[in-house]
Structure 1
Amino acid sequence: MTPARPVPPFPVTVVGIGADGWQGLPESSRTELREAEVLVGGPRQLDLLPPECAGERVTWPSPLRPAVPRLLAAHAARRIAVLASGDPMFYGIGRALAEEAEALRVLPHPSSVSYAAARLGWPLEDVEVVTLVGRPAARLAAALHDGRRLLVLSAGAATPGEVAALLRDRGFGPSRVRVLEQLGGARERTTAETTADEWPQDHAPADPLNIVAVECHRAPDAPRLGAVPGLPDEAYEHDGQLTKKHIRAATLGALAPAPGELLWDIGGGSGSIGIEWMRTHPSCRAVTVERDPVRADRITRNAERLGVPGLRVVTGAAPAALAELPAPHAVFVGGGLTAPGLLDACWAALPLGGRLVANTVTLESEALLAGARRRYGGELVRLAVAHAVPVGGFTGWRQAMPVTQWSAEKTANPSPGADR
């Protein structure tokens, strides 16, 4: 039996501090900082404290996250106060400390988002917040919808220019942009409103402590990308290996993504299933397995273009390429069904409640899906789509190849399917 870790004598206290520094703190936060034996924070935050905060000052090392448990252990018997910008539990150090500290006390300060919404008169419940701190700017693309308001947490002085460039590139050049700097401090400033199209190439860098406000407006000639699966096929760069729009929407419906879940997308092709899985919620994750390196590179480009640069692309053949992957909540097999043992390996990797969906257009793979249904149960359906096309001076239907789809959920008491 593993012995319990000793409980430290004092909780770790996290104090939110704004650009207004010491004078902006309530007395309860000041008291904690005066009494702390160890003061941890970034150089800018520590410089805001007066000499009466006499504790040992420790600057966060880089990278920060791996250092958290080591730093807490090194000062376990002392009063530790950690400084954080604004609200420590909103994209702040509070999350990492909550995962590592035995006891935690958080004294928040208004976040930059709260200040920005107050200055702009934007109800926070109608605003989407996107952080680019330590994250690629491309992830902003998934939040771009006509008429939406965004608050973008900046990584530094160059972020506003990067945001304007991305808006132009993604067809949102008419969007209105403002930069709010040093919110809550003596040097607070809001730039004049402009559009991303009008943003000058030689625009001076912003103050490093800034947030970008965006009112999204799509250019008339830009493609409309909705919030649900089934994006236009033209949104993807592809070589023909693409799950088409209507089949893609039905496939994502069967996969049923939920926040925080991980998908294996096997035989990625153009990456459309993994990409649209991740677009359903910012916390959804996906790994795409594609054996063709040219297609794997294309998937990466599509993911960045469509706002999910965190899509992981593994170049290799399944099932061998699956061995080191984290366990999935759902699996989609869009290619390589005839690889020996692939379906069984995918089923074995799923936890209870996990879903497996596989599509095919060939008779050989259809027979494999029928066998999987006999073993594991689930539903076997045929999806057929026809498009209206000119027939002389009239209009007729052109039938696309029908897709056979098997979908099943892993349960404790499976009910194997039977041939009908």
Structure 2
Amino acid sequence: IAELAAKNKIYTSYIGMGWYNTITPAVIQRNVFENPVWYTSYTPYQAEVSQGRLEALINFQTVICDLTAMPLANCSLLDEATAAAEAVTMMYALRSREQQKTGANVVFVDEHIFPQTLAVINTRAIPQGIEIRTGKYQELKYTPDIFACVLQYPNSNGNIENYTAFTQKAHEANYKVAVAADILSLALLVPPGEWGADIVFGSTQRLGTPLFYGGPSAAYFATRDEYKRNIPGRIIGLSKDKYGKLCYRMALQTREQHIKREKATSNICTSQALLAIMAGFYAVYHGAKGITAIAKRIHSTTASLEKAICNLKYKQVNDQYFDTLRFVLPEYVSAQQIRTIALGKEVNLRYFDNGDVGFSIDEATNSASATTLLSIFAIAAGKDYPKENDNVQLDTINKSLKRQSP
């Protein structure tokens, strides 16, 4: 097995699309991830012997509520794509009486959503009789057969869209709006809860969960308080014991294993408790200022690389971005050239069908790895390049898109 495993080559991945390299604090890796007390534990049905785990999970919920600006979050789901499918199912159940009467069964999904998310939404929609309609959100025709919309923030190209006006129009048409949001970007960007989203979901992988082989990682799912009886998964809450002391317990479980099937909102049978706990502890370890500092450093490195690569005559297409850039190549450079050079440097980039090349910066990208990225584009263009300097803090995010709340 060791001989077979040794054939694997670990390249540095900048593909992004929901998966990013991250740095797991050693104290979390040793004391949680590698500790059987945490990784072998089962569902905390017995609250009296599970207070530590329940507190860790309510901490995760608090982190999610703070970052998304939503009042309620569950204690994780399987992954981002599953959370998207659960959001669609939940919004289908929340249709108004009139929408149910007229048979409204269409969900509009913006075309710039991660492909794996769209695939799971499609798979889960078919048996429910839900039709998925994709397109540009700016061109949506507000027809009565639509009951909900799903958006990506920032979108799959990496562009930060301002969805405020769209969300307002959607609500006027009686549509629910669900948003797949990059959790780390919300430290810098206006959170969806502030521009009217009904559901916010996504992955917490980049909060200290290693890439592994592309999973597993905990999804988060947040919504409005009035939808608490429809939220999938579990919610951890505060209660009082018989002595009047505060304690934690599973406050709400809406899956069919626990309640009557006809009253269940979902048959989802898994949260990702261990990885959700790690994500929550990662936020505690760094604190609000630390999380913001990490997000700022990621954005600054991205802005610095954009400036340097554009000087090599490449054209960057994202007007506003957090950590992801997409480049149109000069006529004398091909995507295959860049791919060959990148693989020679053991780097995986993102290659678009139309010939564009992109990458996503993450917490583990330092000045040396940023210089390697720059060198790939420079060598392909046949030009010299300077070393990347991470001492200069750059910020290109428009003020209207910046988070103002603490």
TM-score above 0.5 = no
- For this structure pair, what is the TM-score category when the shorter chain's length is used for normalisation? under 0.3
- The structure where strand makes up a greater share of residues is 1
Bigger radius of gyration among the two? 1
- The structure where helix makes up a greater share of residues is 2
**TM-score of the pair, normalised by structure 2:** 0.27
**TM-score of the pair, normalised by structure 1:** 0.26
